[in-house]
Amino acid sequence: MKINFLEKIIGSAFFTGYIPFASGTFGSLAALAIYLIPGFENPTIMIFMISLFIVVGIKIGDKFEAVYGKDPSQCTIDEVVGTWITLLFVPKKIVFIAIAFIIWRLLDIFKPFPANAVERFKGGRGIMLDDIIAGVYSFLIIQIIIYIVY
C-alpha cells in the first residue's frame, strides 16, 4: 500500500508526524495553529472540520498503519482531531487555550479508559478513536474550568 503526497500532508499534519520526537505534540501544535486562524473557532466550522477529519483520518490511518505499523507516530491527524475537539467552544483567550492544550496533551498521553481500550482496534479506527475519546474528556474538563472561572 502506498501513501500519496496529499495523504502524507494530511495524515501527518503538515509532516509533523515525521519529526523524530514528540510528533503528537507537534501535530497538536499544528492543529492549534489552524485553530488560531481568525474565524476557525466558529463552532459550525470546527464541527464540520472535526467530522471531515475523523472520516478522512480513519481512511488515511488505515494506510499509515499498513505502511508504518500499529498506530504509527508518523500519523498525527488523530492529534489534530483531538485538539480541535478539546478547543470546541473554548473562548479564544490565551489562558483557556493554554490550559486546554495542556489538559489535552496529558489525556492523550495517559489515555484514560476507554481510550486505552479502543486504541487496540486495528487500522484507522484504533488510531482515531482513542484520541477522540481523550479529546472529549479534555473538552469536558476545560468546559467545567471555563464555567467555574468565567
Q: What is the pLDDT of residue 24?
A: 96
Q: What is the pLDDT of residue 13?
A: 98
pLDDT > 90? residue 1: no
How many domains is the chain partitioned into structurally? 1
Give residue 125's domain range.
Answer: 5-149
Q: What is the pLDDT of residues 95-120, one digit of tens each?
A: 999 999 999 999 999 999 998 998 88
What helix, strand, coil percent values describe the chain, rounded to 5? 70, 0, 30
Q: Tell me the average pLDDT across 122-129.
A: 96
Q: What is the pLDDT of residues 37-91, one digit of tens each?
A: 999 999 999 999 999 999 999 999 999 999 999 999 999 999 999 999 999 999 9
Q: Which set of grid coordinates corresponds to residue 55?
A: 472520516
Q: Which set of grid coordinates corresponds to residue 52?
A: 471531515
Q: What count of Cα atoms within 13 Å lies in the side-chain half-sphere of residue 17? A: 22
Write phi, then psi, for 4 (nearest 5 degrees). -80, 170
Write phi, then psi, for 112 (nearest 5 degrees). -65, 155
